Amino acid sequence: MRDEIDRVDDFATGVFQALHDVLAYLLPTQPDLARQLMPLWREAAVRHDEVRGSTGQLDNLNETVERLEPRKMLYRMFDVAGLWPRPEKG
């Protein structure tokens, strides 16, 4: 059983790494994609922190820490890397 869990975990990590690699390439060249993902993933990061501080699950049964965490991680990684569009100064 432990071997199966390790294989599934390794697979999920590989999928996460592949998604990171693709998006790190696409976001700078596709600003519309970045503008669409940024607020969604920023909200997921905020909700992740809220869920961690509470019962571990929000009203939406599909919204758990485990499901929010990948978007939180990608949002913060791309924010630190400066890949999100910056607000236009007006």
Write the pLDDT tens digit of every residue in 31-84.
Answer: 999 999 999 999 999 999 988 887 655 666 677 888 899 999 999 999 999 999
SS3 36: helix
Write the pLDDT tens digit of every residue in 24-45.
Answer: 999 999 999 999 999 999 999 9
Judge whether 69 and 48 are in contact, CB under 8 Å: yes
Burial (CB count <10 Å: 0-12, 13-18, 19+), residue 76: middle
Note whether residue 85 is domain-resident. Answer: no
The angle formed by the CA atoms of residues 10, 66 and 40, to the nearest 5 degrees, is 110
- Name the one residue in this structure whose structure tokens are 């432990």: 2
| pTM for this entry | 0.84
Q: What is the pLDDT of residue 62?
A: 72
Q: How many domains does the chain have?
A: 1
**The two structure tokens encoding residue 50:** 């809220």
Note whether residue 51 is domain-resident. Answer: yes
Q: What is the pLDDT of residue 55?
A: 64
Task: Give the domain extent around 53.
Answer: 2-80
